[in-house]
Every structure is written in C-alpha cells, then in structure tokens.
C-alpha cells in the first residue's frame, strides 16, 4: 500500500497526473512567487489559530520536524495523557492516508480546519471529509467539523488581539456523503501513483481549484496557447477536447467577442494592430509628467491597528518625473521600519509629486492606494485627493491603441514591455520580479530575525523593481508618442 498525504490525495482529485508527477518527478514543479506567498500565509494563519483556540496555552503542537513517523508517535503520546487540551497539527494515519489536523478541540469534540480564504469553498469541504474519514477510526473521532476562515469584516485593534479574525462555518451537513467516497478515492490514487504516468486532459483543472505546478510539462509548447484568448475560460475544456490548442487554429465563428477577435487576428497575422489614439491622447497631456507606482503589503492577518484582512497597505513608491520630454528625474520611498507606513509614505509622496501635471499610472490600483493613505491620514486627504484628480491611467489608453501578438492576450505592462522595450524585460531583474515577490521580500526585510546584509539586499531588489515599473511606463509613453 502506498502512503499518501491528504494534500497528495487532493492533488489526485484535481488531476491524477499531478499526483503522479509530484511523487515521481517533483523536480519538474515550477513554484510561483504567488504560491510561495500562499504557503507563507498558511503558516501565519495557523499560528494565529493556535493563539485563538488555545488562549490558556495548554495545548500541544505536534511539530512534525522529525518526520511523520515521529509526528504519529507524538500525537499518540499526547492523546494518552489525561489532560483534554487542544492539539494542533495532530497526525493520524488510516490505510496509508496521512492527515495533520489543524486544530482538535478535544473538549468540544471538534475538528477545526483553518483556512486563510474569506469564504468556504468546495475544496475545503472535501479536505475536511478526508480528515473525518481518517479520524473515524482514531481515538478521537470528531463529533463536529468546522471551517475557520478569515472574517473580512474584522478590524484589528492592535496589541496582538486577533479575536474575531476567524469565523467558523459548520461543515457537518456539507461533508455528508463525501466521507464515504474517500476509500474509493484513496484506492484509485494509490493505483494510479504506482502505475505509469496517467494521461490527463489539460483544461480548467490545471488552475482549479489550485494552480498546478506542472503546466509547463503538460500544455503544448505553442506560441499562442488557447488559454490566452480573452473570455475563453468557460469554453476552454470543450475547445481543447475538440483538439484546438492554439489561438490561430480557431475558426472565426468560434473566437468570441471583440477583444478575443483582436487577439486572434494578430496571432494569425503575426503583426501588431495599432492606431493613433494613444498618440493623440498622450500628446494632449501637459508637463511635467509624473509616473507613479506603489507596492503594497496585504495578507489575511492585519499587521497594524485599524487595518483589515487583505487590505493592501502601501509600503513603497517609485516616481519618475519628466519635467520636459526626455528629462527624467527619479524619486522613491521605501519604508524601512515595519511600522504602519501610511503617514511617512504619503508625506514623502506629496513632497515629490508637485501640484500640477498628469500623474500616470498603470491600472486604477494607485488610485486605490491613494484612497487608503487618505483614510489613514485625514489631514493629508485633501492633498491626496488632488493627486487622484491628476491621475491618468495608461492601461485603457494603450489598450485602445495597441496589441502585439507576443502579448498573448494580456495588456499587463509585463506583457507589453518585452515587445516595445525588450531591454527592460522584467525577466532580467534579479530577485523581486513581481508584486507577490515584492510582498515576500518586504515581509522578510522587516522581520526582526533577518540579518542586516540580507535586509539590505532585499531593499535593493525592492527599489530596483519598483523603479523598473515606473521607468517602464515612461518607455510606454515614449513609444506611443
């Protein structure tokens, strides 16, 4: 019998091939910064759950650091003690299936699964059903099961008081018959994982419910993958099943709306589509011009009093200032201390951004960030509102004017830049290359245990990345001008 963990069984339910690759060729997995950030988030929310479900600190955490055999032994030893106290990460095994229970509330006979999402999802119910099946024959079969997920209405009051951060949802009814299906799932998974690599149809499953790390292995190596066609998601599986793999293969009648038609036409012709609307719109802008980009930190656990879960809080900005065509200066701000950076960041920005001239951004995110800063600094709200009044979002301007087939259905600046300014391609950046990476880097930089040399390295990466974002906008404007 092949031993499997709950997460491996969940991988199997997403796709048998994913399980097989995880077991036999894990080196092929490509873990994104976003996935790494999600792992880090899971650890953080687990630590908060231990605080919340064990305020007296009488519970036991089964560490798992010495392997699963030791975790099983430690769990059995904890259960053998007379004290009926909470257990965290208690480890159980049934017929080769291994689970680690986030929280076992032994007083109330409850299994509590902790998730960092703000709602209960189908996969959470399946996750709990698997655990219940394993626990059925254990010394502590749960009388009820709840999902504790993040309450997005929670406002942190400070002092480490996170009571109210998690809300519970009773899953007893939802789990229902799923528990009885676990033995079949397990037997099927054990068969598949010991055989040859199973065939699996690519499709929406590759991103649902989780991003699969083997997409590069399974998806055809084609210049214009079908999944990049705007609006295709709901039809993707059907089109793939019909044999379409590349945008260019679709007949015109199957392509979809205007945006999809544009992407399809450019893919088939191999030529960009361009009109002069961006040139005209940008020519009408005055001087000086400011190019602004924020980086933010969010996450399920608010760091600062007055903030909510997943509320993006700016910690950094970059500002390129173009006083006259081609005459560039650069200003930047990066909070170094880990305190709520709102006032410092807003004050520094207002000092650098002047009182007139367009403030160019990519998407409406910067408007949201300025609103967040105004909320924390009412005395600066008027000045920040004046900056909002000067914002010019480049994204819709460029979208109206331009599409290059190499952008593969995306109008993100990261898709556009390699086409119009290949020397500024984000791929060449070392370390931080995207927003998720920036969040991880900042969190590591402000962590007290981070060594000074590493902190300085992360700071350099963050500054370089954010400056790259605003320089990219400068290049975009020059390109269309």
- Residues of the shown chain interacting with ligand SF4 in the complex, contacts defined by CB under 6 A: 14-15, 17-18, 21, 200, 202, 205-206, 212, 214-215, 218
C-beta of 123 vs 259, nearer to ligand SF4: 123
CB 358 within 8 A of CB 351: no
Taking the complex as a whole, the smallest distance from the CB of residue 211 to ligand SF4 amounts, in Å, to 9
Taking the complex as a whole, the smallest distance from the CB of residue 238 to ligand SF4 amounts, in Å, to 16
Taking the complex as a whole, the smallest distance from the CB of residue 217 to ligand SF4 amounts, in Å, to 6
For residue 422, how many other CB atoms are within 10 A of its CB? 10
Length of the chain, in residues: 481
Of 268, 301, 309, 405, nearest in space to 51 by CA: 301
Taking the complex as a whole, the smallest distance from the CB of residue 30 to ligand SF4 amounts, in Å, to 10
Backbone angles phi, psi at 44, to 5 degrees: -65, -45
Of 430, 407, 416, nearest in space to 472 by CA: 416
Find all residues with CB under 8 Å of 278, minimum gap 6, and list them.
397, 398, 400, 401, 402, 480
CB 319 within 8 A of CB 332: yes
C-beta of 135 vs 212, nearer to ligand SF4: 212
Taking the complex as a whole, the smallest distance from the CB of residue 242 to ligand SF4 amounts, in Å, to 17
C-beta of 227 vs 437, nearer to ligand SF4: 227
C-beta of 237 vs 444, nearer to ligand SF4: 237
Residue 292, CB half-sphere, CA atoms under 13 Å: how many? Answer: 32
Q: Which residues pair with 349 in a beta bridge?
A: none
Q: How far apart are CA 263 and CA 369, in angstroms?
A: 31
Ramachandran area for residue 333 (φ above 0: left; ψ -120 to 50: alpha; else beta): beta
CB 278 within 8 A of CB 308: no
C-beta of 22 vs 295, nearer to ligand SF4: 22
Please, what's the b/e burial string for 124-139 (b: 16 or more CB within 10 A of its CB; e: otherwise)? Answer: bbbbbbbbbbbbeebe
Taking the complex as a whole, the smallest distance from the CB of residue 214 to ligand SF4 amounts, in Å, to 4
Taking the complex as a whole, the smallest distance from the CB of residue 151 to ligand SF4 amounts, in Å, to 32
C-beta of 211 vs 425, nearer to ligand SF4: 211
Cα-only R_g, the chain: 26
C-beta of 234 vs 389, nearer to ligand SF4: 234
C-beta of 111 vs 212, nearer to ligand SF4: 212
C-beta of 205 vs 254, nearer to ligand SF4: 205
C-beta of 203 vs 314, nearer to ligand SF4: 203
Of 197, 212, 188, 187, nearest in space to 20 by CA: 197
Taking the complex as a whole, the smallest distance from the CB of residue 121 to ligand SF4 amounts, in Å, to 18
Per-residue three-class SS string for 204-233: HHHCCCCCCCCHHHHCCCCCCEHHHCCCCH
Find all residues with CB under 8 Å of 57, minimum gap 6, and list them.
none
Q: How far apart are CA 105 and CA 1, in angstroms?
A: 31
Q: How far apart are CA 103 and CA 44, in angstroms?
A: 14
C-beta of 218 vs 467, nearer to ligand SF4: 218
Taking the complex as a whole, the smallest distance from the CB of residue 219 to ligand SF4 amounts, in Å, to 7
CB 3 within 8 A of CB 98: yes
Q: How far apart are CA 364 and CA 193, in angstroms?
A: 46
Taking the complex as a whole, the smallest distance from the CB of residue 222 to ligand SF4 amounts, in Å, to 15
Taking the complex as a whole, the smallest distance from the CB of residue 274 to ligand SF4 amounts, in Å, to 35
Q: How far apart are CA 304 and CA 438, in angstroms?
A: 19
C-beta of 169 vs 205, nearer to ligand SF4: 205
Instruction: Report strand pairing: 313-324 vs 289-297.
Output: antiparallel
Taking the complex as a whole, the smallest distance from the CB of residue 33 to ligand SF4 amounts, in Å, to 19
């Amino acid at each position: 019998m092949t031993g499997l963990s709950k997460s491996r069984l969940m991988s199997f339910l997403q796709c048998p091939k994913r399980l097989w690759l995880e077991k036999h060729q894990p080196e092929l997995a490509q873990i994104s910064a976003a996935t790494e950030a999600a792992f880090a988030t899971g650890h953080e929310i687990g630590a908060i759950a231990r605080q919340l479900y064990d305020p007296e600190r009488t519970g036991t955490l089964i560490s798992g650091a010495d392997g699963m055999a030791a975790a099983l032994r430690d769990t059995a030893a904890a259960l053998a003690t007379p004290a009926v106290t909470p257990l965290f990460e208690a480890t159980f095994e049934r017929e080769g299936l291994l689970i680690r229970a986030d929280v076992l509330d032994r007083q109330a006979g409850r299994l509590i699964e902790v998730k960092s999402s703000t709602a209960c999802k189908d996969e959470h119910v399946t996750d709990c059903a698997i655990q219940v099946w394993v626990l059925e024959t254990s010394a502590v079969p749960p009388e009820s099961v709840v999902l504790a997920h993040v309450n997005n209405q929670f406002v942190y009051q400070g002092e480490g008081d996170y009571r109210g951060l998690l809300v519970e949802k009773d899953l007893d009814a939802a789990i229902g018959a799923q528990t009885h299906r676990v033995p079949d799932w397990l037997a099927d998974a054990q068969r598949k994982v010991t055989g040859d690599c199973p065939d699996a149809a690519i499709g929406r499953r590759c991103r649902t419910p989780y991003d699969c790390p083997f997409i590069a292995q399974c998806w055809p190596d084609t210049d214009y993958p079908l999944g990049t066609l705007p609006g295709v998601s709901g039809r993707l599986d059907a089109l793939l099943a019909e044999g379409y793999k590349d945008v260019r293969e679709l007949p015109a009648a199957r392509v979809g709306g205007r945006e999809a038609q544009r992407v399809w036409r450019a893919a088939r012709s191999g030529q960009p589509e361009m009109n002069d609307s961006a040139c005209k719109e940008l020519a009408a802008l005055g001087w000086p011009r400011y190019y602004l980009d924020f980086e933010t930190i969010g996450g399920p656990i608010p760091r600062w009093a007055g903030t909510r879960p997943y509320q993006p809080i700016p910690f950094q900005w970059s500002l390129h200032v173009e006083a006259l065509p081609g005459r560039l200066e650069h200003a930047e701000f990066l909070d170094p201390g880990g305190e709520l950076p709102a006032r410092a960041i807003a004050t520094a920005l207002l000092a650098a951004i002047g009182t007139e001239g367009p403030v160019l951004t990519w998407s409406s995110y910067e408007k949201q960030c300025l609103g967040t800063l105004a909320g924390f600094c009412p005395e600066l709200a008027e000045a920040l509102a004046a900056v909002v009044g000067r914002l010019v979002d480049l994204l819709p301007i460029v979208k109206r004017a331009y599409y290059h087939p190499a952008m593969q259905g995306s109008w993100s600046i990261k898709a556009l830049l390699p086409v119009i300014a290949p020397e500024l391609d984000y791929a060449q950046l070392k370390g931080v290359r995207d927003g998720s990476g920036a969040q991880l880097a900042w969190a590591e930089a402000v962590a007290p245990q981070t060594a000074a040399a590493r902190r300085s390295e992360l700071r350099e990466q963050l500054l370089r990345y954010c400056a790259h974002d605003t320089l990219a906008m400068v290049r975009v404007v020059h390109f269309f001008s």
